[in-house]
Structure formats: structure tokens, C-alpha cells
Amino acid sequence: MNNRGTLTRRTMLQTLAVAGTSAALGGCARRSEDKNTITFLNWEKTEGTPLGQAVQAFEKKSGKKVDIQPAPTNDYDTKMRTALASGVSPDIVRINDDYVRGFSDTGSLLDLTKYIERDKINVADYAGPVFNFPKQPDGKHTAWVIGYEPRLIYYNVDWFKSAGVPLPPTTWSGDGWTWDDFVSTAKKLNKGPGKWACLVYLDTGVEQTFSINNGDPTGIYSANGKKFTLDTPKGIEAIQWATDLTVKHKVQPPWSELQQPSTDTTFFLQQKVAMLFDTFGVTPYFRENIKNFTWDVAPPPAKVNQRTESSVVVFAVPKSARNPDAAWELLKFLSGPEGGAILAEGRQYTPINNEAAKAVKPDKASPAHLDLFAAAGAHLTQPNQTSNTLGARDIYRPALDNVYLGKESAKSVLTSVRSQVEKALTETS
């Protein structure tokens, strides 16, 4: 009988044994390698960015390897949630500042208090308001801020000059730069469809900034994160003001033309808008790509207040991280003087470290008043943390589409969604 080509029990057992041994040896090698590697989930690639350079400096200094795993921004929250649920999460995860409370409530983020106390971190060395941002009501410090991105008005200096309009203030001052002044300036700058004076209403930053500046005490949510407060008279007036720039004054692009990705930066770059309310994060892009006109930055227009919402660049160490100690070392480096200096040099974030933040100052390239970003530290506001910001936002923001499209008033829309939003705020995302 010819047995060639048939599978004997012995052959199968031998094959399984070899496969098992290989897998076990591979696992050992992996574990050995893991001890020296920090895995890092981020929502963008870091090669060539200030963050990437700071991470490289840490690798050089510590001898550790940082394995950055970029995930597409749109799918980032899904990937992060899946990673946390798997129980084998990365050592560090970037986390949207709006979701820190929600993820903290799930108990999946490591309390960093023991590291803060062990290393005697001095709060006075950091920008106070944002340093305590990740501190939860129960006292746990569940995330770590390395920098912040204040929103300012980017403006096209040449456009102003050609229209003969005085430039906005170069300090955090409301003199000649109130909401009414802003509208008046916009009307003078406006050149009709395709050449609009301003672009203000794009993301939640406008809702928080302008409602606070209009005198609302808490902005979108109440201090305890349980109430929806954008529907107060001050909040409603702020949203209507931003909308009226389009529907009443015709100085802002229609909402329907802003649905493509990166419209804000593209419109400013292509000189389709003269003034843009955007974060510090777009500065490196503008510095690299704007070659044919001079641009600068100014504070947002003032009313009762003159503050600005700042996105916070925040990271967390999951409880299931394999190398929490090494992860903390990296976070400490990024928020320290050395890492902070690299971030400041890249002009993408204002580093949380006060000493490093001093490096955020103008150079030969635009903007001439870059130091306004550093000075913004004294004028910050942030949306109050809630347990389910995403759930709440997915109710009121789509509803605002009808306001921004000019179909309904801010009052009718915001008051109609209040109960739904507050119901969402009672849930944990």
C-alpha cells in the first residue's frame, strides 16, 4: 500500500508540536521586546511633526522605543474603545478632551496621582487651568495634558490693507474689537460670494467661546456636566450672532459650502475668507503653505468677556497598559521643559510647561503676533466635562444644522433639544 500523500497521526502530532513550540518561543521573544517598548495610539501620523520630534528625543534620552500606532481620525474613538475593551490596550492613548470624563467613568483609565505625588510634580510649573483639566470629581487624575491649542482669529493682512480697514488689536484687548466692531469690519472686507470676510461657525469652539464671551457663566454645559446651558438667552444670542454673519450680513460662507473636510484651512489658504476663527493647531500648516500673502492672528472679539476655547492635547494611560511606568516617563518628558521646548518650537501647541511656553514667540515668518497664543493662557475657557459629551453633541449639533442653514432660529432649535441632550448627559458614554 502506498502511503505517500496521506496524513498519518504521527505527522500531524509532529506538525502541531513544531507549531506550538514556535508560537511559544515567538511569544517569549515578544514579551522580552515589549519591556523596552511603549505602545502609543494616536489619531494622526507623527513623523516630522513637533510631537514626533519630541518622542524621538525621548527615545534617544531614555533608550526606550516608542511604537506609535496612528489611526484615522474618523475611526479613532472606535479604535480606542475597542483597544480598551480588549484588555490588551496600548500603553498610552490620545484622548479627545471632550471624552475624558466619560472614559474616566468607565474606570478604564489609570489614576496618575501616585506618579504625580511620587515625582513631586509642582503644579506651579504648569498652566494651572489646563493642568487640572483631567482631574475628576473623585480626585483621580485620569489623563495628562501636554499642551493646549487656543483658538484665535487668523486674518489676511494684505486683504485688510487693500480694503483700507484697520488691523485688529495685537494684544488681548477689546478696544475697537467688540462683536459689533467685528461685524462692521467684516462688512468692509466682504467682496461677495466666494470672497467672504470671515468664517467663525465651524466647530464646537464657537459655541463655547462666544456664549461665554456673551456673558453666559458656563457655556455649553453646566459646571457639573449635568445640564445643557447653551439654550440660555446668552447662549442663544451667541449662536444667533454667529449665524447672522451668514444669513443676515452675508459675510460668511453658507453652511452648505463648509461640509467638505478641511474647508476652513483651504478657504483661508485660497484667500476665500479674510478672517478665520481656528485653533493654534493649524499654524504649522499655514506657515508651510501660505506663500503669497501676509497673515497674522488676533484675539476673538470681546463682549462681556474676551476668552477663547482651547482644545487640550491630552493623553491617558489605560489601566490595562503593560508598561504604565514607562508610559508615565514619556508623558512627563513631553510635558516637561525639554519635550515642551520641542513642541513650542514646532508652533503647534502651547506647551503646558510654563518655562517651555515662553518659547512660543514670533520669528521672521508669520504670524507676527504668535505670542498671543502663549498669552491666551490667561484667557482660556473649556467646555465643562460631562459623562457623555459625544452623545449630547450628536443631538444638539445636527439640530443646529437648521440654524446654520438659516431655516430655524437658534432659540427654537436649542430649546427644543434641551430635554434630549440632558437625558443623554445622564448616560455614560
| Contacting residues toward another protein, per CB under 8 A | 7, 12, 77-78, 81-82, 84-85, 102, 106-108, 193-194, 254-257, 259-260, 388, 390-391, 394, 398-399, 401-402, 405, 420, 427-429
Closer to another protein by CB, 272 or 369: give it.
272
Query: Considering beta carbons, is residue 12 or 23 the nearer one to another protein?
Result: 12
By beta-carbon proximity to another protein, the closer residue of 107 and 166 is 107
Asked whether the beta carbons of 76 and 93 are under 8 A apart, the reply is: no
Cα separation of 38 and 130, whole Å?
Answer: 25
Q: How far is the CB of 236 from another protein (least distance, A)?
A: 18
> Within 10 Å of residue 411's Cβ, how many Cβ atoms?
16
What number of other Cβ atoms are within 10 A of residue 10's Cβ? 8
Residue type (1 letter), 60: K
> Minimum Å distance from CB 256 to another protein?
3
CB-side exposure of 318: number of CA atoms within 13 Å?
Answer: 25
Q: In whole angstroms, how close is the CB of 269 to another protein at the nearest point?
A: 15
Q: Which is nearer to another protein, 57 or 390 (CB)?
A: 390
* 338 vs 401, beta carbon nearer another protein: 401
Cβ distance 196 to 272 under 8 Å? yes
Greatest Cα pair distance in the chain: 101
Separation CA 283–CA 40 (nearest Å): 25
8 Å CB contact between 308 and 209: yes
Instruction: Count Cβ atoms within 10 A of the Cβ of residue 287 and give its class: 0-12 exposed, 13-18 middle, 19 or more buried.
Output: middle
Report, in Å, the least distance between residue 74 CB and another protein. 8
Q: How far is the CB of 108 from another protein (least distance, A)?
A: 5
Q: Which is nearer to another protein, 157 or 399 (CB)?
A: 399
CB of 254 to another protein, least distance (A): 7
DSSP 3-state assignment of 300? coil
